[in-house]
């Protein structure tokens, strides 16, 4: 393997545990930020409902109050950001990384935004499930957005963005 | 070549939508999960475990702690990513077929290791089980697919 693949795989082998540990160490910050942003988005999109959020280590408790009733939803938002350590490990292990630091930040931000969309839509679905008369109109579109956002945040963006940015590396040993 | 990456991304999205669709989960992935649980149980029996399998559930007869192999733990999503990528890549039919067969075996083999380790972790430590289940193994399986694809790309070039 003289085309950089061996080096890449070795780097990936060591970098993924480090990135996972760093991501886990920042779990509290991620959960706090996602809770605040998601509550704000839901209040903006559903002004007839009142939202309040509390965070614990890896979970968010979102309470929603409407004229039809109230619901409490507990969600693990880190499930939606678990693509971040994969993305960071892949980007850092790629040989062209030095020229692509900005892509790392933009990609991380994109994954985080997709994760927040997933969290907001999951909250909407779960609260509609909890209270039958609460915001049923948005249940189906929210369920669809939830599936797409989770896929985008955890698989499509981490792998797709790395592949896009490192295409020269991948194509270098794949082409005849 | 980048249009193929876009096609791949679309396939990945489609796979997730299908995976999230209840009818697909119950119809196709239900038997798949039971098969994965059954193979894991057989492997654990070979290693001296006395795990009890019932459908997609693996239970420890002493502590009665159990895990259920759901569609997220079947390795179906990682397998779909692998299939999509190999189908999209412009390789010969022989290379694609060989890639699909060996890739399927690589992903499902690692998935059996995942199920067995999760079963053992669940017996001894719930926090460790939760971490490994929700975060660690998802990433490892994804990286397994990527590493296999890179090796396959390199192999099909030289062969």
- The per-residue pLDDT for A57 is 74
Q: Model-level pTM?
A: 0.84
The edge-to-edge listing of strands for the beta sheet with B66-68 is B52-54, B57-59, B66-68
Beta bridge partners of B52: B59
CA-CA distance, A37 to B58, in Å (whole number)?
39
Q: Do A24 and B157 touch (CB under 8 A)?
A: no
For residues A53 and A77, the answer to whether their CB atoms sit within 8 Å is no
Which candidate from A78, A151, A171 shows the least CB-CB separation from B1?
A: A171
B135 touches chain A (CB under 8 A): yes
What is the residue-level pLDDT of chain B in tens, covering all 159 positions? 666 666 666 666 666 666 666 556 666 677 888 899 999 999 999 999 899 999 889 999 988 899 998 877 777 778 877 888 788 788 889 999 999 999 999 999 999 999 999 999 999 898 999 999 989 998 898 889 889 988 998 888 777
Contact A159 B142 (CB under 8 A): yes
Rounded CA-CA distance A163/B84 in Å is: 14
ipTM over 0.85: no
- Which of A141, A95, A149 has the alpha carbon at shortest distance from A118? A149
- Measured CA to CA, the distance from residue B143 to residue B115 in angstroms comes to 17
Select from B2, B139, B140 the residue whose CB has the most chain A CBs within 10 Å, as the one to mutate to test that interface.
B139
Please report residues of A whose CB lies closer than 8 A to that of B17.
147-148, 151
B77/A155 Cβ within 8 A? yes
Residues of B in contact with A174 (CB under 8 A): 89, 153-154, 156-157
Report the residue from A3, A9, A86 with minimal CB separation from B139.
A86
Q: Looking at the complex, does the CB of residue B2 fall below 8 Å from at least one CB of chain A?
A: yes
Q: What are phi and psi of A30, to 5 degrees?
A: -60, -45
Per the CB < 8 A criterion, the answer to whether B146 and A90 are in contact is yes
The nearest CA of chain B is from the CA of A112 a distance in Å of: 16
């Amino acid at each position: 393997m003289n085309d950089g693949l061996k080096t890449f795989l070795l780097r990936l082998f060591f970098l993924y545990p480090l990135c996972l540990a760093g991501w886990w160490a920042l779990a509290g910050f991620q959960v706090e930020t996602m809770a605040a942003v998601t509550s704000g988005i839901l209040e903006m999109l559903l002004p007839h409902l009142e939202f309040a959020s509390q965070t614990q280590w890896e979970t968010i408790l979102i309470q929603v109050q409407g004229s039809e009733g109230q619901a409490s939803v507990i969600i693990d938002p880190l499930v939606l950001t678990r693509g971040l350590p994969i993305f960071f490990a892949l980007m850092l292990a790629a040989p062209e990384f030095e020229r692509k630091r900005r892509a790392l930040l933009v990609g991380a931000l994109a994954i985080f935004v997709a994760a927040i969309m997933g969290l907001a839509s999951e909250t909407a679905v779960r609260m509609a499930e909890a209270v039958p008369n609460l915001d049923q109109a948005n249940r189906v579109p929210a369920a669809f957005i939830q599936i797409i956002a989770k896929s985008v945040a955890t698989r499509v963006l981490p792998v797709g963005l790395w592949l896009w940015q490192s295409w020269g590396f991948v194509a270098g040993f794949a082409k005849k | 070549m980048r249009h193929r990456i876009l096609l791949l991304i679309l396939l990945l999205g489609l796979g997730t939508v299908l995976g999230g669709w209840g009818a697909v989960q119950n119809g196709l992935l239900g038997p798949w999960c039971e098969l994965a649980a059954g193979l894991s149980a057989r492997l654990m029996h070979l290693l001296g475990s006395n795990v009890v399998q019932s459908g997609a559930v693996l239970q420890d007869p002493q502590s009665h702690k159990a895990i259920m192999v759901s569609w997220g733990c079947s390795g179906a999503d990682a397998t779909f990513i692998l299939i999509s990528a190999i189908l999209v890549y412009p390789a010969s039919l022989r290379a694609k077929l060989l890639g699909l067969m060996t890739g399927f075996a690589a992903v499902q083999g690692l998935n059996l290791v995942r199920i067995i380790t999760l079963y053992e972790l669940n017996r001894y430590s719930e926090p460790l089980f939760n971490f490994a289940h929700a975060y660690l193994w998802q990433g490892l399986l994804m990286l397994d697919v990527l590493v296999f694809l890179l090796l396959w790309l390199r192999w099909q070039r030289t062969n």
